[in-house]
Amino acid sequence: MPLIAEHLGALGFTCDYINRNGVTNLWARRGSVAPLLCFAGHTDVVPTGPLEQWSSDPFVPTIRDGMLYGRGAADMKGSLAAFVTATEAFVAAHPEHAGSIAFLLTSDEEGDATDGTVAVTEALSARGERIDFCVVGEPTAVNALGDTVKNGRRGSLSGKLTVKGIQGHIAYPHLAKNPIHMAAPAITELAATVWDGGNAHFPPTTWQISNIKGGTGATNVIPGAVEILFNFRFSTASTPEGLQQRLEETLKRHGLDYEINWTLGARPFLTAEGALVDAARAAIRDELCIETELSTTGGTSDGRFIAQICPQVIEIGPVNATIHKIDECVEASALPRLSAIYRRILERLLAPHA
């Protein structure tokens, strides 16, 4: 991050570290007037996995057969480099550009995501600093650079459900209550429930169990409780409050004795077609001669936090086929083209008459 700050400082950016609980966050801004276009991303990466399975050192960038290998090459150090080079080229060509440019970088996206981008957005909100457009560098392409742009993400709502029974000897079931048996009909109903039909921008909401834990480990003991972890990935057609209410109504209807703890990981967000989406489509068309597809699929991203203070948020990055995998890589020639796309977006929004 200091390396990026050094490059941005040379371009006239004012760099401000907004750190919290050991997490390093950089807010860098050039200009003081609207509109403000922000590039956002993260410098942290997921663990490497077994080092011996990598074809080369995951933390030494290595080009083989036209591919750049290394942990974070696609997710998302490649995008960060493209952000910087795009901005350097744009400022050199348009030193008196309209509006302002900002960088929002965190080291806490792949982790708990509690002291990273959310800390910066809270600080910006407290001092009344508004972002008009935001481009997040998440790897969004499916088969080739530019084929997909994310203009929104689904929400994430998790629950830890404990269904209570009565522990007992398995040979005397009439003296016990098996919580697994009692929960099974409710689980079946929940798994078959149509939560919503989605809409023009989002697929239908889904509910999935991720873990079930119950019992003592012995084969002759009926457990006293079963713990079920589950998750909703929900669209803008539902609310977290509505999903919670419907699920608990099902549990009560089945007569279960239960406790449940809810965690709202993310609310859904959507950027409708407008200035930023139009600029991204045109930039990809001009640079790559293809038409991009808008998508809201995939997991959560830090865009969910930025969307709280920015009305237009999109994600554009390299092909995501190898992210989080052994031998993560990105086509080396794609990064200059990605930089050119970012530069064209800057030109369309901050130098439209140049």
Question: Cβ(23)–Cβ(107) under 8 Å?
Answer: yes
Residue whose structure tokens are 């007992």: 168
How many angstroms separate the CA atoms of 43 and 157, rounded? 26
φ, ψ (nearest 5 deg) of residue 216: -95, -10
The residues facing 315 across adjacent strands are 136, 150
Nearest to 270 by CA among 201, 186, 223: 201
The residues facing 266 across adjacent strands are 156
Nearest to 264 by CA among 109, 121, 159: 159
User: Is 109 a catalytic site residue?
Assistant: yes
Q: How far is CA 132 from CA 102, 135, 289, 300, 310, in A?
A: 11, 10, 27, 21, 6
Q: How far is CA 159 from CA 29, 210, 240, 246, in A?
A: 39, 10, 11, 13
Question: Cβ(35)–Cβ(130) under 8 Å?
Answer: no
How many angstroms separate the CA atoms of 330 and 333, rounded? 9
Q: Which helix (H) or strand (E) holds 251?
A: helix 240-253
Question: Cβ(351)–Cβ(314) under 8 Å?
Answer: no
The residues facing 69 across adjacent strands are 62, 329
Residue 114, number of CB atoms within 10 A of its CB: 12
Out of 75, 108, 109, 327, which one is annotated catalytic?
109
DSSP state of 280: H
Question: Cβ(168)–Cβ(175) under 8 Å?
Answer: yes
Q: Which helix (H) or strand (E) holds 197?
A: none
3-state percent helix, strand, coil for the chain, nearest multiple of 5 = 30, 30, 40
Could you list the active site residues?
44, 109
